[in-house]
Amino acid sequence: MIRKLYRARVGTKWEIIEKEAVDEIIFRTTKTRNRLMLELMARGGMRIGEVLKLRLKDIQDRKLILQEPKSGRQHEIAFIPQKVANRLRKHALEVGGGPQCLDSLMCWISYKPKVVE
């Protein structure tokens, strides 16, 4: 009876995806927004919540400042490859409303709601 109560838990085994498979997924993505999100998670080690909270003022060349990360700190810094940084900056200026919207979110989810009449 005691053996059943205090049995060691069997941990969940996660399957690690090969780098080539991750690259294939990223390169097959057609939308710029989705591709950038995947690249930030894969190449920058960011979580989805951190990617969605990015603001234009948080992007400083290859350095991204993550506000209120999951670790509990006030902010953290993530470094990304230069090519990803260039694409991110270009996308941010196109979608984010330009340099005057530094404090607004990057608008990753840019779907417009349907107007019901």
**CATH code of the region 19-100:** 1.10.443.10
15-53: per-residue pLDDT in tens? 888 999 999 999 999 998 899 999 999 999 998 888 888
Neighbours of 102 (CB within 10 A): 13
65-101: per-residue pLDDT in tens? 988 778 788 888 999 999 999 998 888 777 766 555 6
The pLDDT-based confidence of 61 (bands split at 50, 70, 90) is confident
Beta strand spans in 53-104 (E): 59-60, 63-67, 75-79
Cα–Cα distance, 61 to 77 (Å, whole number):
12
Q: Closest by alpha carbon to 105, among 90, 117, 116, 95?
A: 95
Task: Spell out the domain ranges in the chain.
Answer: 19-100
